[in-house]
Amino acid sequence: MRTLFAPLFVLLWIAPSAAQTRASEKEWNAVVEAAKKEGKVVVAGSPDPVMRNEIIPKFKERYGVAVEFLAGRSSEISARVKTERAAGIYSVDVYLAGPDTTATTLYADKIIDPLKPLLTMPEVADGSKWKRGKIWFADPEESFAVRAFSSVATLMFINTDQVKLEEMRAAKDLLNAKWRGKISTEDPTTTGSGANAAARFYHDQGEEFVRKLYLDQKAVRTRDRRQMADWLARGTHPICLSCREDDVRPLIKEGFKILEIFSLTDMPGSINGSPWMLTLADKAPNPKAAQLFANWILSREGLGIYARGYGSVGLRTDIDESNLNPGNLPKKGIKYFDDTDWSWIVSGRQEYRDKVWKLLKGK
């Protein structure tokens, strides 16, 4: 009897699921067809070689829908979009903006629509394809801003010709008089990775540490990312607090003795959601193409291209991670400081950044 009912149970369980899959595929195909009729999608974001060289041609090849990419710094993009909207013009469909812009401008200004109900591509909607069991919406309503990446961030880089790893085990090692004038950082007195790093030091180590590190140690500031990486490679300033991985890794490949440090004994590693968060513009002029693009960029193919291009760790389970730097892969059992946590972005970091600015500008 049991053997008789078992297949029946299986059939009853599978049939609705299969029907549902067919329905979602049908629904998804309708989205694709509608998007093709719209013919294009307008994406706004930071200047981005991966987008320009890989994403745009691949998406066009896959669906025949053109991607028009408006590149600019976030302040320029947001100024433009806000002025357009005040004049009743809605030109952007999708934003691929950094976490700060997403939280403090796009979300705060209410110029984005809920994305959750529109993520219907079967392989995107399938929770089993995501490391967290579902898509990670970072905003408080868990509906607007998708976080697609979570990589362990580099805390600092050292040139081992001049700084040995054993000399840089804890944050207090940075205060060794030996390193006075040898540390470089992106300018912490303005928005950017330098200020973010300083806010983190303030949060973890306190005001006195920040004063000693940035003022007493005479940390050299710059606004140019390449300048920092070059200083690091040449050993002019062999400790870099805010160099970018994509600037430094080519130097490591060239044989420069540069080491990435992801955590210190008194400062746990951090994870972040760079290079972008995904949001959908409200009143998008090409809504179906926007939906298609948003889904595809979160698919195995779309996210895979970005993860490979940026060396960032995507949150999908089916992306090949063999080419990534192992140091960037979050390890199980370690509690990381989340540098892209929503509340940290909108209030915590701002609060600490203000304290840093007050300290460094009022010196």
Which residues lie near other proteins (CB under 8 A)? 42, 46-49, 52-53, 56-57, 68-76, 78-80, 82-84, 86-87, 89, 91, 100-101, 104-105, 108-111, 187, 189-192, 220-227, 230, 233-234, 236, 244, 246-247, 250-251, 254-255, 361-362
State the minimum distance, in angstroms, from the CB of residue 265 to other proteins: 30
Query: Closer to other proteins at the Cβ: 15 or 79?
Result: 79
Closer CB to other proteins, 75 or 265, in the complex: 75
Q: Give Cα 246 to chain centroid, integer Å.
A: 13
Smallest gap from Cβ 209 to other proteins, in A, equals 21
Nearer to other proteins, 52 or 132 (CB): 52
- CA dist., res. 307 & res. 319, Å (int): 8
CA distances (Å), origin 322, targets 113, 233, 311, 318: 35, 26, 11, 12
| 43: its two tokens | 């994406």
Inter-residue contact 283 to 187 (CB < 8 Å): no
Determine the 3-state secondary structure of 308 from DSSP.
helix
DSSP 8-state code for residue 188: T
> What Cα–Cα distance (Å) separates residue 129 from each residue in 24, 28, 62?
16, 17, 21
Closest to other proteins by CB, 166 vs 254, is: 254
Whether the Cβ atoms of residue 97 and residue 280 lie closer than 8 Å to each other: no
Cα 165 to the chain's mean position, in Å? 28
CB of 91 to other proteins, least distance (A): 8
Least Å distance, CB 295 to other proteins, is 21
> What is the nearest approach in angstroms of other proteins to the Cβ of residue 87?
4
Residue with smaller CB distance to other proteins, 53 or 265: 53
| Shortest Å, Cβ 262 to other proteins | 21
Based on CB atoms, which residue is closest to other proteins, 46 or 317?
46
Cβ at position 131, least distance to other proteins in Å: 28
Q: In terms of CB distance, is 109 or 266 closer to other proteins?
A: 109
In the 3-class helix/strand/coil scheme, how is 90-122 assigned residue by residue? Answer: CCCCEEEECHHHHHHHHHCCCCEECCHHHCCCH
Q: How far apart are CA 306 and CA 16, in angstroms?
A: 35
Q: Which amino acid is at 29?
A: N
Minimum distance between the CB of residue 22 and other proteins, rounded to whole angstroms? 37
Give me the least distance between CB of 114 and other proteins, in Å please. Answer: 17
Q: Of 169 and 226, which CB lies nearer to other proteins in the complex structure?
A: 226
Between 78 and 150, CB nearer to other proteins: 78
Q: Report phi then psi at 259, rounded to 5.
A: -120, 140
Please report the beta strands in the chain, taking only residues with DSSP state E, as ranges in sequence order: 40-45, 66-71, 94-97, 112-113, 136-137, 146-147, 151-153, 156-159, 183-186, 220-222, 239-240, 258-261, 270-272, 277-281, 337-338
Nearest to 111 by CA among 227, 272, 226, 279: 279
